[in-house]
Amino acid sequence: MKAILVRRTGDASVLRLEEVDDPVPGPGEAVVRIETAGVNFIDVYQRTGLYARPLPFTPGSEGAGEVVALGDGVTHVRIGDRVVSETMRGTYAELAVAPAERLVRIPAAVSTDVAAAVMLQGLTAHYLTTSTYPLAAGDWCVVHAAAGGVGLLLCQLGAKKGAHVIGTASTSEKQARAREAGAEHAIGYAGFVAEVKRLTGGPGARVVYDSVGKTTFNDSLDALAPRGMLVSFGQSSGAVGPIDPLVLSRKGSLFLTRPTLAHYVPTHEELVARSAELFGWVEGGAIDVRVDRTFPLAEAAEAHRALESRQTSGKVLVKPSPGRR
């Protein structure tokens, strides 16, 4: 099969299309013919070596397509099922393998592309707004990178719950997109603390969802109301440095958490429950999934360049195989 292989870590040029052996499913595993793979920042971190992986490897954990082979003892899925997962091994390829219990059947009304586009970022927006800090009507919240993949979904979910969403984004075009998605206010990063204080009438936000990291982290703490929560869930601008817990006390007995998706979908049951609610929102039109651009598998490097250089607003996809729909 054709697959992208990373033989050494580095810039996007290390993503090379090669011919490799087809994967063979082990016990409890399934092989999926990948119609659509989702491109995520974690793929960039693994490519650069920030998150270490043994070499060589095929990037991509998110993908959707058709089950084509099963290992022993698989009961969750059958050959021919249309499935999606955020935890497959090597979805930048025509075929990828996964533990069958990490695959979710795609509802009939949802296209394979939309399923691949919403799984990882949608589950993230789901757990952040329902479990990490459960947003309630009337809460003031800040969403950084509000026109990004996770950001647009957070804006929509915040508005759906009746929260006041203040989105930040780097350009007026992106700010307009955040407003369309449900942000009550959309502003630039410069001076956002003062603007959040002004908009909230003084105290600041109950919660800041911060995926930008290095360049926003300290200001995000300052934008919080006393006993507010900073949800630091990403590092698109670089890693956040060490922090003295006393800072949280001084700035208003704040809460700080650094969550990751895996800990919010640890079991098959929780994965299925969160996905069912997420796909219900998609089917019912409560959230709109914006695909920014789609690349053929051979151009995976271009997909990474677009994501890293802040050109995108929404999801980036890679298409390894032609699909049924």
Under rule CB under 6 A, residue 145 binds ligand NDP? yes
Q: Which two tokens stand for residue 280?
A: 């219900």
Q: Does 212 bind ligand NDP (CB under 6 A)?
A: yes
With CB under 6 A as the contact rule, which of the stretches 7-15, 219-227, 256-264, 267-275 interacts with ligand NDP?
A: 256-264
How far apart are the C-alpha atoms of 251 and 255, rounded to whole Å? 10
- For residue 28, give the H/E element and its range: none
Instruction: Name the residue nearer to ligand NDP (CB basis): 211 or 220.
Output: 211
Pairing of strands 255-257, 62-70: unpaired
Residue 99 three-state SS: strand
Q: Which residues are CB-neighbours of 193 under 8 A, at least 6 positions away? A: 219, 222, 223
- Which structure tokens are listed for 202? 């003084």
Give the Cα separation of 60 and 121 in Å (integer).
14
Residue 183, interface with ligand NDP (CB under 6 A)?
no
Q: How far are the Cα atoms of 39, 62, 169, 183, 285 from residue 86, in angstroms, in the given order?
A: 11, 4, 26, 27, 22
Q: Which helix (H) or strand (E) holds 160?
A: helix 149-160
The residue within the footprint of ligand NDP, chosen from 83, 236, 275, 281 (CB under 6 A), is 236
The least distance separating ligand NDP from the CB of residue 121, rounded to whole angstroms, comes to 5
Q: Of the two residues 94 and 288, which places its CB atom closer to ligand NDP in the complex?
A: 288
154 near ligand NDP, rule: CB under 6 A: no
Nearer to ligand NDP, 25 or 314 (CB): 314
Stretch that binds ligand NDP, among 56-64, 91-99, 229-237, 241-249 (CB under 6 A): 229-237
Looking at residues 25 to 54 of the shown chain, list those that interact with ligand NDP (rule: CB under 6 A). Answer: 40-42
What is the smallest separation between the CB atom of 43 and ligand NDP, expressed in angstroms?
A: 9
Of the candidate residues 47, 76, 126, 174, the single one contacting ligand NDP (CB under 6 A): 174
- In angstroms, give the least distance from the CB of 62 to ligand NDP: 10
Which residues, numbered 300-319, are part of the site for ligand NDP (CB under 6 A)? 310, 312
The torsion region of residue 282 among left (phi > 0), alpha (psi -120 to 50) and beta comes to alpha
Those residues with Cβ within 8 angstroms of residue 168's Cβ, 6 or more apart along the chain or in another chain = 142, 143, 144, 145, 146, 186, 187, 188, 189, 192, 216
Residue nearest to ligand NDP (CB): 148
233 binds ligand NDP (CB under 6 A): yes
Which spans of this chain sit near ligand NDP (rule: CB under 6 A)? Answer: 40-42, 120-121, 124, 145, 147-151, 169-170, 174, 211-212, 215, 233-237, 259-261, 310, 312
